[in-house]
A and B are shown apart, each in its own frame.
Chain A
């Protein structure tokens, strides 16, 4: 049940998206990174059962109100987006075959591909305009992408041809296509009005849905991308242990979001394969830069030098992850790989703290068991900080309201973020007016540079600006980003055509490509 809640850091306001570059790494166990997939040709038929953490009555199949991982899996089966995000968080074409913008990045023209809706009608620019209108409908309070797409100037969006549509923005956004690849942005038919009767272009068509209980869909044979292989798709809710048991007991073919503990115990099981995607979740300790003692960058740097990252990864993530370098987005587009890895240096940390007069203070660390590893990381870091004579007092608060409470409690806190584009992350959490600025990081020059990047259409120049922003965060920011956990899913050994993928990317919980051997 904590699983149902763990969506939040994985989505944030901006939705999310993402994946490290290491999709192939763990590959499809047993078959040597897809070797078997390549040899055998896909077969049609069969029933595919996928199990996710459930959300009870809060579950929905309205693609614009989706918020749980299980919602997103169902939506992905029944609908398509104009754009999806690839493994490095760069946008990849889906219903939009291509796109281009004007030089200010304020008007975007999308060319649509030939696609059929489940009712047999062709995808048209009107459907795209209807979908945007529905997403942005001010009367709908639960449409997730509203904040994200608020720059869309609906009145000035228009059809420019049988297959082309122009989306006007009220402010420049060089990353606009990536925004269309995030949560709550599916394209629905202009004839869609009842969420219980979805009309999408997806590879599966709804048969039945009961919130918190079951979802059954059948293959849609006229899917533009070739369609699915399995005849029937079932998406079902179950808690962590039950997911593992269902998979190992042969009652499910796929289980989403598994634990390192399960992965270890499943290693001996011939019937199960672990799909581990690198960079699925970034783990950090947040220091509030607007409060003592972290208003002094020397202190935040000292804390970053205190962390034994390898040990945190080994203990908290059971070794299933990579050490972090105090920047979000390892492996993603715009991540500056050339910045050296920060290493532990207790002496240097102590001397910085002495200079800042921050030794011998007791600091409050507010955490909660809302996400796996939070309390463990906080406790372990408190021990590591004690090596420099610091006292960190860890307080564990309510899981249900942690992310809101965190903004007001403690000078330090736990933070986890799922895969999303680096610009999204910055926009959500590191600008002066970001609603979820947990580290209290407010710098006018930082904001200005970000705005400049947003309106820069030249790709290299933009990358340089993002790189500079990341460098500033690395040196002075309040994020001690110590690790990047692998994202663990598991599949039955019979399953083919499935690659490891972090949440919110095209490859995540994608069932139109899977087939059963």
Chain B
């Protein structure tokens, strides 16, 4: 177990290194650099050159990357080319809203998906199953931003039940105003619930048909015990693995709702950094997002192992 974790972490470090190189290369491919973008059309060539020198953009890309990477190894995420302040500061400021959003989403998604998946799996082909299947399939087909706009138009602008954006908070406390979370969390959670509940349902159906469940039933083990001890843990595994996989849905969904609901989070900061060609900030933020995704996936695998130690989840 410990060996597995170490192995996964080592692999993670390699993945992060590759990602860092890739992101750096891709941002370098974008037209213009931080100096050109900041002064676009506002300054003479000399001014742009001076800024480029000041930001050390005139130095070779490899050297800049090496310097940044060296900093990261010592825990320094680098300096923003826009604000001149540390990237860690950008992260600290923007992470709060994103974390709240992600955490609340997960807290909603997991129980809801379990409930729907189990219920429909137990009644395969029944009315409930068909209803859940149609709704989740339909919802899954709606892009996040369209869902967001529909919800805003209906629930906020027409009915006035919920706030349409986070603008009114003005940097205030978000958890203190749960109404603000309802729509953004609904949008991000919707697709995740669809994907997860369908996986859990499929797991339920498969497990219910396996020999050991039939055998347990035949032996007269109470239905309740069969479900809780044998069916659920096994059926949950694909669901939890799916949860790890839909981590990108979570990140993608958060990015979209941050823009639609004017939430000043990591995704918003990342988009601004890309626009400004603020390479160290882009690098730092993607690295942290990647670390989060890796840890999330590792945690999901460990939970699977805990539930069903003999499965091949940890291979």
Contacts and interface: CB of A to CB of B under 8 A. Distances in A.
Interface string A204-219: 0000101111101000
Interface stretch (B8-16, B134-142, B262-270, B301-309): B262-270
Interface string B265-281: 00011011101111001
A87 interface: no
B260 A249 contact: no
- Greatest chain A CB density within 10 A among B40, B168, B269 is at B40
B37 A56 contact: no
Which interface residue of B32, B37, B167 has the most chain A CB atoms within 10 A? B167
A236 B260 contact: no
Contacts, number: 146
A55 B264 CA distance: 11
Given A49-B168, A212-B272, A400 B42 contact: no
Contact of B82 (A9, A11, A56): A56
B83 interface: yes
B165 interface: yes
Interface stretch (B43-51, B65-73, B110-118, B222-230): B43-51
B275 A4 contact: yes
B272 A238 contact: no
A85 B194 CA distance: 57
Contacts of B38: 58
Interface in A436-474: 436
A239 B51 CA distance: 28
Contacts of B259: 239, 242
Given A56-B272, A245-B157, A251-B163, A402 B82 contact: no
Contacts of A58: 38, 82-83, 272, 276
**For the side of the interface on B, what is the size category?**
35 or more
Interface residues of A, number: 50
A56 B260 contact: no
Nearest to B277: A400
Given A56-B276, A57-B80, A249 B40 contact: no
A13 B43 CA distance: 7
A170 interface: no
B42 A216 contact: no
A250 B277 CA distance: 35
Contacts of A213: 93, 171, 264
A320 B273 CA distance: 33
Nearest to B171: A214
A251 B167 contact: yes
Contact of B261 (A13, A242, A400): A242
Contact of B40 (A208, A236, A252, A404): A404
B49 to A, nearest CB: 12
A73 to B, nearest CB: 14
A57 B272 contact: yes
B264 A212 contact: yes
Contacts of A402: 40-41
Given A5-B40, A12-B42, A246 B164 contact: yes
A156 interface: no
A251 B31 contact: no
Contact of B164 (A12, A234, A245): A245
Contact of A252 (B30, B31, B41, B168): B168
A401 B44 contact: no
B156 interface: yes
A450 to B, nearest CB: 20
A353 B105 CA distance: 64
A239 B262 contact: yes
Contacts of B30: 398, 400
Nearest to A238: B262
Q: Which of A8, A56, A67 has its CB near the most chain B CB atoms (within 10 A)?
A: A56
Nearest to B149: A241
A404 B90 contact: no
Nearest to B81: A57
A435 interface: yes
A3 to B, nearest CB: 11
B36 interface: yes
A11 B43 CA distance: 12
Contacts of A252: 167-168
A12 B50 CA distance: 19
A386 interface: no
B152 to A, nearest CB: 6
Given A241-B260, A242-B165, A249 B269 contact: no
A237 interface: yes
A362 interface: no
Interface in B25-63: 30-32, 36-44, 47-48, 50-51, 54
A214 B174 CA distance: 14
A138 to B, nearest CB: 12
B125 interface: no
B50 A56 contact: no
A339 interface: no
A487 to B, nearest CB: 20
B78 to A, nearest CB: 13
Given A141-B47, A251-B165, A56 B268 contact: yes
A51 interface: yes
Nearest to B270: A56
Contacts of B220: none
B211 interface: no
B77 to A, nearest CB: 14
A403 interface: yes
A51 B170 contact: no
6 contacts: A49-B167, A56-B269, A58-B272, A141-B47, A243-B262, A398-B32
Given A51-B167, A57-B85, 9 more contacts: A55-B272, A57-B82, A58-B276, A67-B42, A208-B171, A210-B171, A212-B269, A214-B170, A400-B31
> 7 closest A-B pairs (Cβ-Cβ)?
A403-B41, A249-B164, A214-B171, A56-B272, A401-B32, A251-B168, A238-B262
Interface of B: 30-32, 36-44, 47-48, 50-51, 54, 80, 82-83, 85, 90, 93, 149, 152, 156-157, 160, 163-165, 167-168, 170-171, 259-262, 264, 268-269, 271-273, 275-278, 281
